[in-house]
Amino acid sequence: MRDECIELSLTCKPSFSSIFYRVKLPILLTSFPMRFLVFFAIFFACTCSSAALAAVHGKKHKPHQIRTTPFGPRAEVAQLASDISQNQQIPVAWVRHQLSLARRVQGLEKMVLPPPASSPKNWAAYQARFIEPRRIEAGMRFWQTHKEALERAQNTYGVPVELIVGVIGVETFYGQHMGKYKVLDVLTTLALHFPPEHPRAQERQAFFKSELGYFLKMVHAQPKGQAAITGSYAGAMGWPQFMPSSWTRFAVDFDGDGRIDLLKNPVDAIGSVANYFKAFGWQTGMPTHYSAQFDDAKLDKSTLLAPDILPSFSAASMQDKGVVLTPDAQQHKGNLALVELFNGTDAPSYVVGTENFYVVTRYNWSSYYALAVIELGAAIKAELAR
């Protein structure tokens, strides 16, 4: 499980990985209160946000650029239909028919490969991309429009409004970029043609096959036409970019209309994002991080960075190892992690992450992602308070 966790962080959100820090989840899961949830995270935490992330890489996948070809009648398709039917308890003839409608997306295999090791990670570039006036302004409008639902989510799940607003802003620019790929096409393509040169091809292929199963189960339960749902090139859907398994497990009907709709209903998205964080161990009232200064004479950075973002040090232990903590951080009761964010060839940035910082990375396994979400939410909150 440990090795899987380390590796999974590289590819849960393929489009993030060339700019984000690769979250390692080492050894100490045993001491973390939501340890058992990590198992679920392997399968369900990949609520991809490839629309926003593609933007970081300058990739804009316009609809007319998506080229597809038929899969054709093949034994693998028949086997896939049979497996999904069995796993999800849906009629095999119906699954076969759905898969017969799926088309292979050209170029997708390359997009899910990890970036070259030489790709520089750059927090400053990421920060500039996501914490910027247009997104902050859109976030302010979103906050004001959905104030009641956001506050109700905060009261219901204990997750602050600014975090929910930050997530939806980074994921889809408040519903503006939800992805143009047919989810049926991308999941079937990745289930059948995952690139074998990927370091963990077998596991990732199984993941997408499983996600395709969850997707078809959802479609089967819906009125006609739902198979046309579009999303990111990894199959993430709607305002919060939930993968099908996350939708199944964590999405909620937050406006009480009797159905869960993350595609067109931002109120359901608000409740679902908050529910997701609660399910992954969000602790109400705990900050996400503190600032980090160093006492160079005492600094033991290699020990501090060894557990990566997994909170593993008490405040006192951090100070012993050369981190100069702010007064509120010195009073922090839980464990802390020193989080390092590279800035290309410039000096790295550092923050002291709490267990709640770690929870934010369960939405997307990246400290760069987490800090962008947190800072965007904070910037919007600050603007609204002016």
Shortest Å distance, C-beta 177 to Ca ion: 22
Residue nearest to Ca ion (CB): 253
Q: If binding is defined by CB under 5 A, does position 148 make contact with Ca ion?
A: no
Pairing between β-strand 68-70 and β-strand 103-105 as defined by DSSP bridges = antiparallel
**Of 1-9, 220-228, 257-265, 270-278, which part binds Ca ion (CB under 5 A)?**
257-265
Q: Using CB under 5 A, which of 253, 299, 317, 384 touches Ca ion? A: 253
**Of 94-102, 111-119, 262-270, 355-363, which part binds Ca ion (CB under 5 A)?**
262-270
Q: If binding is defined by CB under 5 A, does position 7 make contact with Ca ion?
A: no
Q: Is 171 a catalytic residue?
A: yes
**3 state DSSP class of 103:** strand
**Sign of the torsion formed by the C-alpha atoms of 148, 129, 292 and 121:** positive
Q: Which two tokens stand for residue 13?
A: 């959100």
CA angle 375, 359, 350 (to 5 degrees): 50
Pairing between β-strand 103-105 and β-strand 181-182 as defined by DSSP bridges = unpaired
Interface pattern 267-306 for Ca ion (x via CB under 5 A): -x--------------------------------------
Residue 272 CA to residue 320 CA, distance in Å, equals: 40
Q: If binding is defined by CB under 5 A, does position 257 make contact with Ca ion?
A: yes
**Of 116-124, 128-136, 197-205, 265-273, which part binds Ca ion (CB under 5 A)?**
265-273
Q: Quickly count: other Cβ atoms within 10 Å of residue 18's Cβ.
A: 19
- Farthest CA pair distance, the chain: 69
Q: Which is nearer to Ca ion, 41 or 252 (CB)?
A: 252
Q: Which is nearer to Ca ion, 171 or 268 (CB)?
A: 268
Residue 163 CA to residue 88 CA, distance in Å, equals: 33
CB proximity list for 127: less than 8 A, separation 6 or greater: 371, 372, 375
Total number of residues binding Ca ion (CB under 5 A)?
4
Site for Ca ion in 151-210 (CB under 5 A): none
Q: If binding is defined by CB under 5 A, does position 346 make contact with Ca ion?
A: no
Residue 252 CA to residue 196 CA, distance in Å, equals: 36
**What does the DSSP 8-state code read for residue 115?**
P
Shortest Å distance, C-beta 258 to Ca ion: 7
The H-assigned helical ranges of the chain are: 2-8, 35-44, 50-56, 75-88, 92-101, 108-111, 123-130, 133-145, 147-157, 161-172, 183-192, 201-221, 244-250, 266-279, 301-305, 315-320, 327-330, 355-360, 367-385
Q: Which is nearer to Ca ion, 162 or 261 (CB)?
A: 261
Q: Which is nearer to Ca ion, 253 or 383 (CB)?
A: 253
Q: Which is nearer to Ca ion, 212 or 219 (CB)?
A: 219
- Among residues 7, 162, 171, 340, the one annotated as catalytic is 171
Q: If binding is defined by CB under 5 A, does position 383 make contact with Ca ion?
A: no
**Of 124-132, 160-168, 245-253, 292-300, which part binds Ca ion (CB under 5 A)?**
245-253
Shortest Å distance, C-beta 257 to Ca ion: 4
**Of 169-177, 184-192, 195-203, 261-269, which part binds Ca ion (CB under 5 A)?**
261-269
Q: Which is nearer to Ca ion, 76 or 257 (CB)?
A: 257
User: Would you name the residues annotated as active-site residues?
Assistant: 171
Footprint of Ca ion (CB under 5 A):
253, 255, 257, 268
